[in-house]
Chain A
Amino acid sequence: MGFWFSSEFAATLPLLGRLYIAHIMILPTLGTLLLVAHFLLVKRHGISSRPTEADAALEGAPAPNPGGSTFSAHGIRMVGFGLVVLAVSIALTLIWPPTLGPQPVPGEEVTKPPWMFLPIYPFEDWFGLAALLWVPVILFAGLVAVPFVDRSPFRSPRRRRALIAIGLFVAAALVFLGVLAAFTTPQTHLTGS
């Protein structure tokens, strides 16, 4: 599994260069392909109707208007909101320019990751580096399992309380772990010579 990271994969290209290429070329390409598939599925199936209307239709009410919107109108609205988020992000980076983080210690890794990765950082403290692989795998496997586990025909959150409660619990746990990681002293996970 780690072949891509080994020197046998490409003896002439350092690992840092390989990771850089992965982040600027391979991952964005995969992300774009997933987005294209997502948009094609939305166009194929149509915009979802409102959960309460869809639930009422299951109980004998008239079928809801399919989404009440068109793919183009919905796309325009989504891009509009995306532009607002982009503008706010650019304004924030101008007001509070992001820093490069703490000075690294040569040969030793004692720094904390950026905030978005902080919730999984305590697992690295408790179980070692391997946890950085299996904790996200478990989290995403849980997400993938949701539509297979939750077979309820109803969409409204009020009718799916167990799953909503689990989701809220996971979200609260991630917030708690992130805060915990932010306020605990970083531990050494890698030691070099």
Chain B
Amino acid sequence: MARMLFRIILLAVGLGAVEIGLVGAVGSGALLGWLTVVIGLALIVAGSAGFMVPLLGGRADEEGEA
């Protein structure tokens, strides 16, 4: 459960970072904006992997909590 919540937080931070970064990146081509987008995308991949792998047939976490 704690792992799931941590992944959701990673996802939320990643989505937020991409949205914030896109303003500067696409709007004015700011380097900081693009950097924020890249970091955000990495966080999205890290956060979503644990949810997508079981969905695509991979091995799910064996968390014993009911």
Contact = CB atoms under 8 A, between A and B. Distances in A.
Contact of A84 (B1, B54, B55, B66): B55
B1 A80 contact: no
Contacts of B4: 72, 75-76, 79
A81 interface: yes
Interface residues of B, number: 17
27 contacts: A70-B63, A70-B64, A70-B66, A71-B1, A71-B66, A72-B1, A72-B4, A72-B61, A72-B63, A75-B1, A75-B4, A76-B4, A76-B50, A76-B51, A76-B54, A76-B61, A77-B55, A79-B4, A79-B51, A80-B51, A80-B52, A81-B55, A83-B11, A83-B48, A83-B51, A83-B52, A84-B55
Interface of B: 1, 4, 7-8, 11, 48, 50-52, 54-55, 60-61, 63-66
Interface centre among B48, B50, B61, B66 (most CB of A within 10 A): B66
Contacts of B66: 46, 70-71
Interface string A63-94: 00000001111011101110110000000000
